[in-house]
């Protein structure tokens, strides 16, 4: 455990996959709040929320404000990780209600909850971090994933803009996005089980798993935590493969990470 304790961490979607792995591997003493529908992850407080429903967003904002009101610790972190692929398929054929939920969760919730966190931390003197989970889908057009791809592209560009704004603040919240690569979670299982007519890339995902090409959620989570102590420009958009494979760094010295834009990954 680091000496940097008294840390408050919100993770959306810590009930499963990468979010649960983030909760399990955090290398700091921290109070962790899981914002998800299912909850149940050991060692976390649960805020029950269906983030594809905008009616749930004020409760998250209220949780930020309430917990921060009495907080005099060292660091606050918000990891926006929850996302969905559903519904997979061409935009002209999928269910409109499901498509709307996808847009609300992947595009809108990220920006609205991100904005709520930034407002909630104004005036705090402790270290502040906002990390968005992105995807290679932000850069590449994958048929059958239109609103997911668009949502991740929106997240990345939101991070670039807000990162510039935060550079003007003292202390300012450091805002970054990170694409985790291909990780062995339910989301990958959904891609593999999809019909080729709906997702022309489905076979590629099945092959990826067959040749052992998926990362373990815990390995990715440890690398994501290591980003907290790396000297990244505010507004950086990264791919996890750009992050040097070093032991988790709990305190400086810090090493340079090349951003996704520059590496072209």
Ligand X SMILES: NC(=O)c1ccc[n+]([C@@H]2O[C@H](COP(=O)([O-])OP(=O)(O)OC[C@H]3O[C@@H](n4cnc5c(N)ncnc54)[C@H](OP(=O)(O)O)[C@@H]3O)[C@@H](O)[C@H]2O)c1
Residue 170: CB minimum distance to ligand X, A: 30
CB of 185 to ligand X, least distance (A): 3
Which one of 17, 89, 163, 235 is in contact with ligand X (CB under 6 A)?
Answer: 17
Binding ligand X (rule: CB under 6 A), the pick from 68, 83, 138, 199 is 83
- How far the first Cα of the chain sits from its last, in Å, is 32
Residue 36 engages ligand X in binding (rule: CB under 6 A): yes
**With contact defined as beta carbons under 8 Å apart, do 124 and 68 qualify?**
yes
Tell me if 194 contacts ligand X by CB under 6 A. no
Our finding on whether 19 is near ligand X (CB under 6 A) is yes
Question: Could you say which of 186, 210, 252, 264 contacts ligand X (CB under 6 A)?
Answer: 186
Q: Which of 24, 31, 46, 50 binds ligand X (CB under 6 A)?
A: 50
Stretch that binds ligand X, among 22-30, 176-184, 225-233, 238-246 (CB under 6 A): 176-184
Based on the shown chain and the rule CB under 6 A, indicate whether residue 210 belongs to the binding site for ligand X. no
Give me the residue label for tokens 């992105």. Answer: 134
CB of 82 to ligand X, least distance (A): 4
Q: How crowded is the C-beta side of 47, counted as CA atoms within 13 Å? A: 22
When asked if residue 13 is in the footprint of ligand X (CB under 6 A), the reply is yes
Point out which residues pair with 215 in neighbouring strands. 183
CB 202: neighbour CB atoms within 10 A?
Answer: 19
**Whose CB is nearest to ligand X?**
17
Q: Which is nearer to ligand X, 46 or 67 (CB)?
A: 46
* Gap between the Cα atoms of 216 and 204, Å rounded: 18
146-150's contacts with Cβ under 8 Å and 24+ in sequence apart are: 146/90, 146/91, 147/91, 147/99, 147/102, 147/103, 147/106, 147/107, 148/83, 148/84, 148/85, 148/102, 148/106, 150/103, 150/106, 150/107
Q: Is 184 left (phi over 0), alpha (psi -120 to 50) or beta?
A: beta
**Residue 131 touching ligand X (CB under 6 A):** no
Q: Does 45 bind ligand X (CB under 6 A)?
A: no
Q: Which of 4, 9, 16, 224 binds ligand X (CB under 6 A)?
A: 16
Kindly state whether residue 173 participates in binding ligand X, applying the rule CB under 6 A.
no
Dist. CA 129–CA 232, nearest whole Å: 11
**Residue from the set 4, 22, 32, 52 that interacts with ligand X by CB under 6 A:** 52
List phi, psi (to 5°) of 178: -140, 130
Nearer CB in complex with ligand X: 2/182: 182
Size of the site for ligand X (CB under 6 A): 29
Greatest C-alpha distance within the chain: 54
Which positions touch ligand X (CB under 6 A)? 12-13, 15-19, 36-38, 49-52, 81-84, 105, 133, 135, 179-180, 182-183, 185-188
């Amino acid at each position: 455990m680091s000496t940097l304790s008294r840390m408050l961490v919100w993770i959306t979607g810590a009930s499963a996959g990468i979010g649960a792995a983030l909760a399990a591997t955090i290398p700091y003493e921290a109070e962790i709040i899981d914002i998800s529908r299912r909850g149940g992850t050991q060692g976390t407080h649960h805020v029950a929320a269906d983030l594809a429903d905008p009616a749930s967003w004020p409760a998250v904002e209220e949780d930020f404000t309430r917990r921060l009101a009495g907080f005099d610790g060292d660091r606050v972190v918000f990891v926006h990780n929850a996302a969905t692929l559903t519904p997979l398929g061409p935009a002209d054929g999928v269910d409109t209600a499901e498509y709307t939920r996808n847009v609300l969760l992947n595009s809108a919730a990220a920006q609205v909850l991100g904005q709520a966190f930034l407002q909630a931390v104004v005036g705090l003197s402790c270290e502040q971090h906002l990390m968005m989970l992105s995807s290679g889908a932000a850069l590449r057009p994958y048929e059958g994933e239109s609103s997911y791809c668009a949502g991740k592209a929106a997240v990345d560009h939101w991070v670039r803009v807000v990162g510039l704004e935060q550079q003007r603040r003292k202390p300012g919240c450091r805002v970054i996005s990170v694409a985790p690569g291909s990780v062995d979670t339910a989301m990958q299982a959904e891609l593999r089980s999809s019909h080729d007519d709906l997702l022309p890339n489905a076979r590629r995902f099945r092959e990826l798993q067959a040749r052992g090409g998926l990362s373990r959620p815990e390995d990715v989570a440890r690398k994501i935590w290591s980003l907290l102590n790396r000297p990244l420009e505010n507004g950086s958009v990264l791919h996890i493969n750009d992050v040097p494979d070093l032991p988790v760094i709990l305190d400086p010295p810090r090493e340079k990470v090349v951003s996704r834009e520059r590496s072209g990954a």
